[in-house]
Amino acid sequence: MKITIALAQMDISFGKPAENFSKIESFVAQAASEHADIVVFPEMWNTGYDLSRFDDIADANGSQALHVCQALAQKYHIMIHAGSVATKRDQQFFNTTYVFNEDGELLTTYDKVHLFGLMREDEFLTPGNAQDHFEVKGTPATSVICYDIRFPEWLRTLSLSGSRIIFVPAEWPTPRIPQWRTLLAARAIENQSFVVAVNRVGADPDNHFGGHSTVIDPLGNEVLTLGDDEELKTVTINTSAMDKVRGFMPVFADRRPDLYE
């Protein structure tokens, strides 16, 4: 199955949801004009890491993100992986992914499971407890968010449930971009899956963010990697390549769960 994926590597206005919401339509429109099946956004693109102001700026029940993304998916007839947005539910804050099909129907939600203490998420956010599963043109897929990629056991669990494409929205700082590339390639190789990872660019008061959004094939090759400018780029993957890789080296069948589960 061929899937055309658009990586929306955006800069984020710190703590200014109105500015960020007004920006995303141009990315969706460009992705649709390039015939993408799905457009993917970075982590917490509505607010950035303005955590101490979440009471004022986090999206209550995700209602704005749901409304805007559903309308854009319908208008441009394109799937939207809405990266993640800062949400407020029952007086708690979450880092939440939404995925919509090309008719604007919400397919799935996912709350970031591993909170990143270095950027103070643990002080403000509540972690998620559930897996994420959906399909892109019939191919099983999953989402994790940024720091989650440092937990191979989590991505293995998701892959054992059938996922073949791993989506990774992120706000990953520039100094650790070499780790970003290595970790993403490792997760692709060990799970014999495509990895689609979208990082933001630009800066907030504490960090500069390094872009290098990428699509990696199940052998760990970077099919497309962006630089550190704000831009959208599109690439087509062929998921049948995965059957060859999985057939040649059956790492899932060769596991020894009697030793480590």
Ligand X SMILES: NC(=O)CCC(=O)C(=O)O
Q: Report the site for ligand X in 78-117 (rule: CB under 6 A).
A: 116
Task: List Cα–Cα distances, 48 to 104, 204, 251, in angstroms.
Answer: 25, 8, 38
∠ CA 36-37-40, nearest 5°, is: 80
- Check if 69 is active-site: no
Q: Looking at beta carbons only, is 113 or 232 nearer to ligand X?
A: 113
User: What number of other Cβ atoms are within 10 A of residue 132's Cβ?
Assistant: 22
Does 119 sit near ligand X (CB under 6 A)? yes
Q: Looking at beta carbons only, is 30 or 207 nearer to ligand X?
A: 207
Q: How far apart are the first and last CA of the chain?
A: 33
- Check if 88 is active-site: no
Q: Which of 43, 69, 88, 121 is catalytic?
A: 43
Does 204 sit near ligand X (CB under 6 A)? no
Q: Looking at beta carbons only, is 84 or 193 nearer to ligand X?
A: 84
∠ CA 178-194-37, nearest 5°, is: 115
Place of tokens 């990143």: 116
Q: Looking at beta carbons only, is 150 or 181 nearer to ligand X?
A: 150
Q: Looking at beta carbons only, is 100 or 116 nearer to ligand X?
A: 116
Q: Smallest gap, in angstroms, from Cβ of residue 98 to ligand X? A: 18
Size of the site for ligand X (CB under 6 A): 10
Q: Smallest gap, in angstroms, from Cβ of residue 116 to ligand X? A: 4
Q: Smallest gap, in angstroms, from Cβ of residue 170 to ligand X? A: 6
Tell me the residue ranges of DSSP E strands in 162-239.
165-170, 194-199, 201-203, 208-210, 214-216, 222-225, 231-238
Strand partners for 184: none
Q: Which of 69, 146, 171, 233 is catalytic?
A: 146
Nearest to 3 by CA among 242, 181, 203: 242
Q: Report the site for ligand X in 42-61 (rule: CB under 6 A).
A: 43
Of the residues 172, 184, 187, 212, which one makes contact with ligand X according to CB under 6 A: 172
Check: CB of residue 212 under 8 Å from CB of residue 228. yes
Interhelix angle 152-160/177-191, nearest 10 degrees:
30
Q: Smallest gap, in angstroms, from Cβ of residue 33 to ligand X? A: 30
Q: Which of 69, 88, 112, 233 is catalytic?
A: 112
Of the residues 16, 89, 133, 176, which one makes contact with ligand X according to CB under 6 A: 176
Nearest to 86 by CA among 98, 70, 78, 104: 98
Q: Smallest gap, in angstroms, from Cβ of residue 61 to ligand X? A: 23
Q: Looking at beta carbons only, is 32 or 196 nearer to ligand X?
A: 196
In this chain, which stretch among 10-18, 68-76, 142-150, 248-256 interacts with ligand X, using CB under 6 A? Answer: 142-150
Strand 85-89 versus strand 59-60 pairing type: parallel
State the residues that interact with ligand X by CB under 6 A.
Answer: 43, 116, 119, 146-147, 150, 171-173, 176
